Structure 1
């Protein structure tokens, strides 16, 4: 009985932190989308909507805490083995790195390029972590199959988007083919990014 109660408490903690991570990430994505839509960041003079950029950045910093906690709790809940814990540590380091570099960028110490590189690397690790965590949770009967499928789809979309972007870069600047490939890469990659908070909210909503 005591073990069952402890297990239920553990599950509830995973749900809380997974849900918090999902909603904070979703808010950050909404701020980022509105930033590009309303602020037109690559134009001058700066728009009155430019504040949306720092809002996205601060949400990324704040979101590192629930993100790390949620990953650790979920790994513990699915009884992760050594290799999964190693991947969890790597994903946590990536989440912390995003927060730290973003703080440096907000302070004017680091540039956007460094933040983008760190974020991309950490995202690849985080998506891989989600795919393995989702698979373990499904195998243990803790989440429905679509959770694992969505995580794999995120990884595939991210890889496809990256490949299309590289191919587009290689086709030559200014060509219509390059522009098309960049647009498709952006859409596919954007869907992967959008799916990430949805995945966490799904975990929070379905975890048994």
Structure 2
């Protein structure tokens, strides 16, 4: 075989190897970027999934809007503790990703502290529910930011974008419904539709860290 033919063969082989290499680069870069915080993402996702289940059961079984003593008595507090674990475990991945950390991390810490004070009986639900809701909205805003700007793996970015947009869409519908005549059919429909869409987004946000962990492997 001539030297020219050998060179042509090497170039052709290199061209054939490029597509396979290109497919591996994002995973390698992502693995290095997330570093050693994959375990925290798993904890956040598992705790979020458990929190989602306990929240759904809380409304389905305990029905907190009913007056008097009823229900299990433990689903609500269990959800509060799981939320503490969920948001605390989100902090290391948020710090590692850097993008939007100044927005997400303080909100995560605030949610954790407020939930701890609720569990400890220092704050009542009525006092902490509004700041916790604001904190959760900021954290989900962080999810939207990193999903669009942090160059996450495609699937994690798509899921993060979808659940965060659903949450904010539902929130906008609920807030807009407050402007309608109180107790009207239109307002009830708005509350129901907004609660459904926003609720799906919130529940999806709970398990979103599992996509980060799965993609990082």
TM bin (shorter chain): 0.7 to 0.9
In structure 2, distance between residues paired with 1:136 and 1:61: 27
What is the root-mean-square deviation in Å for CA atoms of aligned residues?
2.4
Cα deviations by residue, 1:58-78 (Å, 9 ceiling, x for unpaired): 1112333211122223x1xxx
2:148 to 116, 130, 135: 135
Aligned-partner SS, 2:178: helix
TM-score, with length taken from structure 1: 0.80
Aligned residue runs from structure 1 range 30-109, under 5 A: 30-73=53-96, 75=97, 80=98, 84=99, 87-109=100-122
8 Å CA contact retained: 1:164, 1:184 = yes
Inter-CA distance 97–11: structure 2 relative to 1 (3 Å threshold) = closer
Does the CA contact (< 8 Å) of 1:135 and 1:148 recur in 2?
A: yes
Quick one: structure 1 residues 162 and 10, their matched pair in 2 at CA, closer, same or farther if it must change by over 3 Å?
Answer: closer
Match of 2:205 among 185, 196, 205: 196
Q: Residues 130 and 104 of structure 1: is their aligned pair in 2 closer, same or farther, counting only changes over 3 Å?
A: same
Q: Indicate the residue corresponding to 1:168 in structure 2.
A: 177
| 8 Å Cα contact 2:63/2:71 also seen in 1 | no
Partner of 1:147: 156
Gaps of 5+ in 2: 1-27
Aligned length, in residue pairs:
190
| Gap runs ≥5 in structure 1 | none
Structure 1 window deviating more from structure 2 (16-25 vs 119-128): it is: 119-128
Query: What is the distance in 1 between the residues matched to 2:31 and 2:143?
Result: 22
Judging changes above 3 Å, is the alpha-carbon distance between structure 1 residues 107 and 20 closer, same or farther for their aligned structure 2 residues? closer
Match for residue 26 of structure 1?
Answer: 49
TM-score when scaled to structure 2? 0.77
The separation in 1 between residues aligned to 2:209 and 2:187, in whole angstroms, is 34
- Cα distance in 2 for residues equivalent to 1:14 and 1:135: 21
Establish whether residue 185 from structure 1 lines up as the match of residue 198 from structure 2.
no
- SS of alignment partner, residue 170 of structure 1: coil
CA contact (8 A) 2:54 2:75 kept: yes
The separation in 2 between residues aligned to 1:10 and 1:163, in whole angstroms, is: 34
